[in-house]
Structure 1
Amino acid sequence: MKKQLVVVTGGSGFIAVHIILQLLQQGYAVRTTVRSLKKIDLIHQMLATGGVTDFGQLEIVEADLTSDQNWDRVMAGATYVMQVASPTPTLNFKNEDEMIRPAVDGVLRVLKAARNAGVKRVVMTSAYGAIFAGHKHRSTLYTEKDWSDLSAKNIHPYQKSKTLSEQAAWNFIKNEGNGLELATVNPVGVMGPVLAADYSHSNIQIQNFLEGKTKAVPKVDSGYVDVRDVASLHLLAMTAPQANGERFLATTGETLSMLDVANVLRTAFPTFASQLPTKELPNAVVKAAALTKPYLKMVAGLVGTYAETSNAKAVTMLNWHPRSAADAIIATAQSMIDLGIVKAPKHN
């Protein structure tokens, strides 16, 4: 019997490569897109680190979200599509359209090609950023019913791009989908095992902590979830009939401050204790620093904000059971140590 083909966009990405791993392990054929075929060796290396060494069911093709080229060929024969690729947040953008337009256009390009090829369902990796931004004085758990309020002041372009691209996807399905199904997965901060030295921006925080580069942390609360559980939620959302037309918040339901994260690492990796931050920065200090350092803008917008989330929908509807936030954080650090990305401190 011919294996069902799943297209995964942006195959060298942190979440995407874990999705590919699980698809191959579950007996699917996978065709993944990369912007450049130079990434082939990296993808093979990451999959091998994750335990897959037979690449017979994996095809890697070149396709870019910003161009129409090749997308028809990418989708040919696919039953499902995982739309994971997204333009990474650039820290030095001139105007916010540089982040928003490619995100919206890229999603629509993938959905059109999927619809034209007769794909059954697309699962789109959206983000918590499409749910929580712009809500003032919040005191109830964020759920899939929430959308970021783009009329609020000072919404970061990254969160705008996530919100507008997900809304564009739902509008497309409603108006031009012709029966194409859609589900979205909205992860909070994604942790878990990195498979190579090339990994996502959410994990750099852990590396900086372990290397002693962060002396004090902003008072930012966040949910955290393991990348392996984010990937498994994508697979559940892909095949479960009841997932069609639904959003799923990928969160453990726990909320940790940055200092909590440092303390999880301190307990799990005592040899690194002297490197880890022990102090929190006053909110005013972080906000003032962001005025001259653009890369702090996103963090400055998050200090002191409410960040409690619920995973009840994914748990009850899809029987999804994520590991704990602490386990996810520890797995990130352990993988960095195992791969030699982070070296143990030399003690005198």
Structure 2
Amino acid sequence: MEDFKMNEKVLVTGGNGFLGMHIIAQLLARHYQVRATLRSLDKQAAVRETLAANHVANLSQLEFSKADLSADEGWPEAMTGVQFVLSVASPVFFGKITDEKKAIQPAINGVTRIIKAAQNAGVRKMVMTANFGGVGFSNFDKQSITDETYWTDPEQPGLSLYEKSKLLAEKAAWKIINQPGNQLAFSTINPVAILGPAMSAHVSGSFGVLENLMNGSLKRVPNISLNIVDVRDVAKLHILAMETPAADGQRFIATNDGQITMPEMAAIIRKAEPELANKVPGKRMPDWLIKAGALVSQQAREAKLLLEINRNVSNQKARKMLGWQPMATNEGTVLATLAAMRQYGLL
């Protein structure tokens, strides 16, 4: 089996990213040949050094290709000889928002560009990193269970620009894949907030949840429930979906079992990082204050949406269809995140 995998080449986009490097590490451990795309090949030495520092095996089976999601150049070369594509990177416009189309279109164009290049190159299968924001942000029935059959309404009040861009990019991807004549097998992974250990200081935006609890900016903690997942489990799920024919045409939510509230996260932080305890608020923010703020603030509208959506999220499809089992608990994921933040000077 290992010899077979050494003849299989996997393209990973965003090779220097938080999730991308974990995926590369696991692919190399499974003896795949890996090609990672970077916007600039000046970064390849740093990626190799980071992987080596994290004791990643089989680095001789890793190569790099220059390609940018905002341009066509480089993608035909990046796809040459590739059997699988893991589309991890997504361009998002984070500047001052004056034109929503300008903010969201790059994500749609990026995934469209990758799919077309993969189709043209005869790639066998592509797995796309989508987002839970594309699944469960319009389900407010807290007696229900959110699974992969749900789709978020793109016009959902309080939906962040990032979540909307990922949602519309996923919808665009499925539209292309479902066209007659398509030969590219396709799956999506829809992770909740990705936390856990980091290989470098380049971390997930979800780390901001913990940062906001520790930087003294909050006087009270919103009583918001969250779903979180360890980055290593998300990486593993990408590879299982890639390897499993039954995953073709399917979406998979990546989440730990259960949910965790922000006050529970704050309590974990205070216990694990006692020197920061005085910065971590102990009192809860009343729900009415968030709802009142939502009348005038986009940030409060996003918080209100997080407060109100259903957080009974199922990972049973990935478990049953792919044999995936998240190794991390919610508390363990938070502790691993704190350790990473301390290691890279992010506390």
- Aligned position for 1:174: 178
Structure 1 CA distance for aligned equivalents of residues 190 and 61 of structure 2:
28
Structure 2 CA distance for aligned equivalents of residues 15 and 75 of structure 1:
20
Contact 1:65 1:106 in 2 (8 A): yes
Q: Please, which runs of 5 or more residues in structure 1 have no aligned partner?
A: 343-348
Taking structure 2 as the reference length, the TM-score comes to 0.90
Post-superposition CA distance 1:151-174 (Å, at most 9, x none): 444433322222211111111111
Distance of aligned partners of 1:43 and 1:264 in 2 relative to their CA distance in 1, 3 Å threshold: same
- Aligned position for 1:52: 56
2:169 to 159, 165, 169: 165
| 1:101 equivalenced with 2:105 (yes/no) | yes
- Aligned position for 1:329: 334
- Aligned position for 1:209: 213
Distance of aligned partners of 1:70 and 1:177 in 2 relative to their CA distance in 1, 3 Å threshold: farther
Contact 2:41 2:65 in 1 (8 A): yes
Structure 2 CA distance for aligned equivalents of residues 23 and 53 of structure 1:
10
2:323 to 319, 322, 341: 319
Distance of aligned partners of 1:138 and 1:241 in 2 relative to their CA distance in 1, 3 Å threshold: same
Question: SS at the partner of 1:277?
Answer: coil
Contact 2:83 2:125 in 1 (8 A): yes
- Aligned position for 1:345: none
Q: Residue 53 of structure 1: CA displacement?
A: 6.3
Structure 2 CA distance for aligned equivalents of residues 5 and 55 of structure 1:
14
Give the fraction of aligned pairs with identical amino acids, expressed as a percent. 39
Taking structure 1 as the reference length, the TM-score comes to 0.90
Aligned-residue RMSD, C-alpha: 2.2
Structure 1 CA distance for aligned equivalents of residues 42 and 201 of structure 2:
16
Contact 1:221 1:306 in 2 (8 A): no
- Aligned position for 1:255: 259
Q: Residue 267 of structure 1: CA displacement?
A: 3.3
Structure 1 CA distance for aligned equivalents of residues 212 and 134 of structure 2:
27
Q: Residue 278 of structure 1: CA displacement?
A: 1.3
Distance of aligned partners of 1:42 and 1:176 in 2 relative to their CA distance in 1, 3 Å threshold: farther
Letter aligned with residue 334 of structure 1: A
Moved more, 282-291 or 103-112: 282-291
Q: Residue 142 of structure 1: CA displacement?
A: 0.8
- Aligned position for 2:302: 298
Moved more, 117-126 or 98-107: 98-107
Q: Residue 60 of structure 1: CA displacement?
A: 1.8
Letter aligned with residue 29 of structure 2: Q
- Aligned position for 2:79: 75
Letter aligned with residue 67 of structure 1: A
Distance of aligned partners of 1:51 and 1:214 in 2 relative to their CA distance in 1, 3 Å threshold: farther
Moved more, 223-232 or 81-90: 81-90
Distance of aligned partners of 1:95 and 1:308 in 2 relative to their CA distance in 1, 3 Å threshold: farther
Distance of aligned partners of 1:253 and 1:266 in 2 relative to their CA distance in 1, 3 Å threshold: same
- Aligned position for 1:5: 9
Structure 2 CA distance for aligned equivalents of residues 291 and 95 of structure 1:
21
Structure 1 CA distance for aligned equivalents of residues 270 and 254 of structure 2:
26
Distance of aligned partners of 1:17 and 1:149 in 2 relative to their CA distance in 1, 3 Å threshold: same
Q: Number of residue pairs matched?
A: 342
- Aligned position for 1:223: 227
Moved more, 56-65 or 147-156: 147-156
Post-superposition CA distance 1:45-92 (Å, at most 9, x none): 432343226532111222111111111001000010000111236163
- Aligned position for 1:338: 343
Structure 2 CA distance for aligned equivalents of residues 55 and 220 of structure 1:
42
Letter aligned with residue 224 of structure 1: I
Q: Please, which runs of 5 or more residues in structure 2 have no aligned partner?
A: none
Distance of aligned partners of 1:258 and 1:103 in 2 relative to their CA distance in 1, 3 Å threshold: same
Structure 2 CA distance for aligned equivalents of residues 89 and 148 of structure 1:
20
Letter aligned with residue 342 of structure 2: I
Question: SS at the partner of 2:127?
Answer: strand
Question: SS at the partner of 1:302?
Answer: helix
Moved more, 268-277 or 124-133: 268-277
| 1:92 equivalenced with 2:88 (yes/no) | no
Distance of aligned partners of 1:214 and 1:30 in 2 relative to their CA distance in 1, 3 Å threshold: farther
Question: SS at the partner of 1:38?
Answer: helix
Contact 1:91 1:295 in 2 (8 A): no
- Aligned position for 2:125: 121
Distance of aligned partners of 1:217 and 1:152 in 2 relative to their CA distance in 1, 3 Å threshold: same
Moved more, 42-51 or 246-255: 42-51
- Aligned position for 1:31: 35
Structure 1 CA distance for aligned equivalents of residues 205 and 68 of structure 2:
21
